[in-house]
Amino acid sequence: MSFDSPKDLIKWGRDGTNELDAACRQFFDDGALKGFTEIDPQTGEKLRKVRQVKPIPSKITRLANEAINNIRHSFDQALFSAASLIGKPMKQAYFPWASNPTDLDRLLASANRGIPAELHEVLRRLEPYERGGAYPGGDDTVRALAKIAGVRKHTIALRVGAQPSAVVIHELTADGPFSIPSFQWEKQTMR
85-133 pLDDT, tens digit each? 999 999 888 999 999 999 999 999 987 788 999 999 999 999 999 998 8
- The residue ranges of DSSP E strands in 24-172, in sequence order, are 33-39, 46-52
Q: Are 93 and 6 in contact (CB under 8 A)?
A: no
What average pLDDT is seen over the chain?
Answer: 85
Q: Give the span between the Cα atoms of 72 and 70, in whole angstroms.
A: 5
Residue 158 lies in a domain: no
Q: Is the dihedral of CA 19, 5, 91, 125 positive or negative?
A: negative
Q: Domain tally for the chain? A: 1
Residue 103 lies in a domain: yes
Residue 162 lies in a domain: no
∠ CA 189-47-35, nearest 5°, is 55
How large is the average pLDDT for residues 26-52?
87
The CA distances from residue 60 to 6, 83, 158, in Å, are: 24, 35, 11
Amino acid at 60: I
Q: Are 70 and 9 in contact (CB under 8 A)?
A: yes
3-class SS of residue 6: helix
Q: What is the pLDDT of residue 190?
A: 47
Q: What is the pLDDT of residue 183?
A: 63
Residue 41 lies in a domain: yes
How large is the average pLDDT for residues 28-32?
91
Q: What is the pLDDT of residue 191?
A: 45
Residue 50 lies in a domain: yes
Residue 93 lies in a domain: yes
pTM of the model: 0.72
Residue 191 lies in a domain: no
Q: Which helix (H) or strand (E) holds 120?
A: helix 120-126
Residue 175 lies in a domain: no
What are the residues facing 115 on neighbouring strands? none
Q: Are 72 and 50 in contact (CB under 8 A)?
A: no
Residue 69's domain spans which residues? 4-149
Q: Would the pLDDT of 153 be above 70? A: no
